[in-house]
Structure 1
Amino acid sequence: MASPSGSDVVDIYPLSGYYFGSKEAIPDKDETLSDRILRMKANYAMSGLRTCVEGVILVELFQHPHVLLLQVKNSFFKLPGGRLRPGESEIDGLKRKLSRKLSVDENANDAEWQIGECLGMWWRSDYETLQYPYLSPNVKRPKECTKLYLVKLPKNQQFIVPRNLKVLAVPLCQIHGNHKTYGPIISGIPLLLSNFSFNIVQD
């Protein structure tokens, strides 16, 4: 596929080249939204700004790019990733989180995770649920920053997912602008990827 002037090319491989299995469930940290807010407040009081990293993983199906999403409790969707530990780099933290959510051994040094470009940043100004792709000038002490990174896959890989999560390949055309189903961050991914060209690599 030819690359438009000034765009980067991302190789994506058929979904059929990937194996999906399951492993022991990851316990939920929060039973309710109130529990989550209380935990966020406690973490902020201890460590300050919460920094999260999430991976955008692309595969090909029906000649169209699909994003791998995790579905929680057959309800809401999220990208694989999570909160950084104090002093942890964004790349190391994302590799650790990807291994925890998508690999057999979460403690292994998974060199196969190739972390690419930072696609965007989202901010949570308070403890409310919404995040925005900008930080308002009147917000002096934001509570959370989420950074999205492109994760580049080899043509074959195993994905081992906790039993309480479901992994789905969702087409960009279904995600685009679908805030109601996927939330503002995931539904904005097609726009973040608009400067890339996709090279679909067939066997």
Structure 2
Amino acid sequence: MVVNLYPISHYEFGPKETKVEKDSSVPAHFDRLREIFQKEGMRTSVAGVLLVQEHDYPHLLLLKKIGETFKNLPGGRLKPGENGRILNFHLFSMINYLIIGVLGYPNLLFVLLFFNLTEIEGLKRKLTSKLGPRLQNLVPNWEIGECVARWWRPNFENFMYPHCPAHIKKPKECRVLYMVHLSDREYFEVPKNLKLFAVPMFDLYDNAQAYGPVISSIPEQISRFEFRMNN
């Protein structure tokens, strides 16, 4: 799979209104996660892997809240209706039942597409919220590509794993990372209380202390792609 990367100088950046954070602290975040779990079950969140190139080398776009040190991928929590594992289960069952009637067996491709489509629409919404311009006609046509990884939070704590431990029957969160293919020129608007960084892959790799296990593993997870540096 070839991924086209363009110089960061091809992209324009402007400010927009401050993005109000729902959680004032890490304990507050897990308190809210606990409330969500009690009402809706496992939380599903999505994040975009947006790449640019500088000096013919891949860089990952990360957001950081002003006054904090930890950087994050653009994304966020899906609404209950955007989680393909919850929404429209009866519709999914009906359509697949019809497919079985025609083909004589369930269509695995349809199953995978069904589970991914609502996640993708949710990711587009979150990317627009975090990086999209206020003018609708300037919002990028987000091209969501391959699923890069799925991470699991077994308990109400910071630790996430690239697999769900066998003894955990009710994980608290699933975080899904998707490659986002950027066109050669875009205009982004960043909330005033956030800063956008282009971080080189060599700084991320095996650097969980600075970026956490999810982000620091991205260089390894995307090594299967071929990157084409466009100038």
Alignment TM class, shorter chain as reference: over 0.9
2:62 matched residue in structure 1: 69
- The DSSP-based 3-state class of the residue aligned with 2:188 is strand
2:110 matches 1:81: no
- In 2, Cα distance between the equivalents of 1:32 and 1:170? 25
Contact residue 100 and residue 106 of structure 1 kept, 8 A:
no
Instruction: Tell me by how many angstroms 1:118 deviates.
Output: 0.3
- In 1, Cα distance between the equivalents of 2:140 and 2:72? 23
**Quick check: which one's helix share is greater?**
2
1:46 matched residue in structure 2: 39
- The DSSP-based 3-state class of the residue aligned with 2:39 is helix
- In 2, Cα distance between the equivalents of 1:189 and 1:163? 27
RMSD: 1.5
TM-score, normalised by the number of residues in structure 2: 0.82
1:11 matched residue in structure 2: 4
The structure that has the greater radius of gyration is: 2
1:183 matched residue in structure 2: 212
Instruction: Tell me by how many angstroms 1:195 deviates.
Output: 0.4
From the superposition, tell whether residues 39 and 180 of structure 1 become closer, same or farther in structure 2 (CA, over 3 Å). same
Instruction: Tell me by how many angstroms 1:105 deviates.
Output: 2.8
Contact residue 49 and residue 142 of structure 1 kept, 8 A:
yes
- 4+ runs deviating over 2 angstroms: 105-111
Amino acid corresponding to residue 55 of structure 1 in structure 2? G
Amino acid corresponding to residue 133 of structure 1 in structure 2? P
- In 1, Cα distance between the equivalents of 2:142 and 2:50? 10
- In 2, Cα distance between the equivalents of 1:152 and 1:179? 25
- In 1, Cα distance between the equivalents of 2:135 and 2:178? 19
- In 1, Cα distance between the equivalents of 2:25 and 2:8? 34
Contact residue 70 and residue 78 of structure 1 kept, 8 A:
yes
Amino acid corresponding to residue 84 of structure 1 in structure 2? L
Amino acid corresponding to residue 83 of structure 1 in structure 2? R
CA offsets per residue over residues 76-114 of structure 1, 9 Å max, x none? Answer: 110000000012110110000000000123978956100
CA offsets per residue over residues 39-84 of structure 1, 9 Å max, x none? Answer: 0011111110100000000001011000000012341110000000
**Quick check: which one's strand share is greater?**
1
Instruction: Tell me by how many angstroms 1:32 deviates.
Output: 1.5
1:194 matched residue in structure 2: 223
Contact residue 57 and residue 67 of structure 1 kept, 8 A:
yes
Structure 2 segments unaligned to the other structure (5+ residues): 83-117
From the superposition, tell whether residues 181 and 188 of structure 1 become closer, same or farther in structure 2 (CA, over 3 Å). same
- In 2, Cα distance between the equivalents of 1:200 and 1:149? 20
- The DSSP-based 3-state class of the residue aligned with 2:171 is coil
TM-score, normalised by the number of residues in structure 1: 0.92
2:179 matched residue in structure 1: 150
Amino acid corresponding to residue 156 of structure 1 in structure 2? R
- In 2, Cα distance between the equivalents of 1:31 and 1:90? 26
- In 2, Cα distance between the equivalents of 1:111 and 1:32? 32
